[in-house]
Amino acid sequence: MSGAGPAKHALHASLYRPVLYAGVAPQFLLFEASAVFLLLFEAGLHVLTLLLAFGYCVVFHPLAVFLCAKDPQVADLYVRSLRGADVYAPGAPLRGRPAAAPDPALPGRR
């Protein structure tokens, strides 16, 4: 036996790639289905709500598919960025003074 080291094996993509439903992350699909369901059944079945629901699916779903094709975990990244929003200073306006630093997330730390 030669000391060539450990053998290398190909790993099938389904073992590490996130599961996508209809081309989007489950969070996007749940949000989209909930929004269309509420639009149709809470606002009522009218021509306008049908057009709004159809337009929502035609605009939001392809956008979500595009984002998930770039990064399948984009929904998790967005939710994580919302949780840490109070840590980072808000952006300044284009021609204004910089915004004040936010309060720290943990009281007593400055």
Tell me: the pLDDT tens digits for 14-63? 888 888 999 999 989 999 999 999 999 998 889 999 999 999 999 999 99
Report the domain count for the chain: 1
Kindly state the helix (H) or strand (E) to which residue 34 belongs, with its residue range: helix 26-43
Res 64 pLDDT > 90: yes
Residue 79 covered by a domain: yes
Can you give the length of the chain in residues? Answer: 110
Residue 10 lies in a domain: no
| Residue 57 domain flag | yes
Residue 46 lies in a domain: yes
pLDDT exceeds cutoff 80 at 99: no
Sign of CA dihedral 84, 85, 86, 91: positive
The mean pLDDT of the chain is 82
- Look at residue 108 and tell me if it is in a domain: no
- Percent pLDDT > 70 in the chain is 74
For residue 8, tell me if it sits in a domain: no
In a domain, 37, yes or no: yes
Range of the domain at 37: 20-83
pLDDT tier for residue 82 given thresholds of 50, 70 and 90: confident
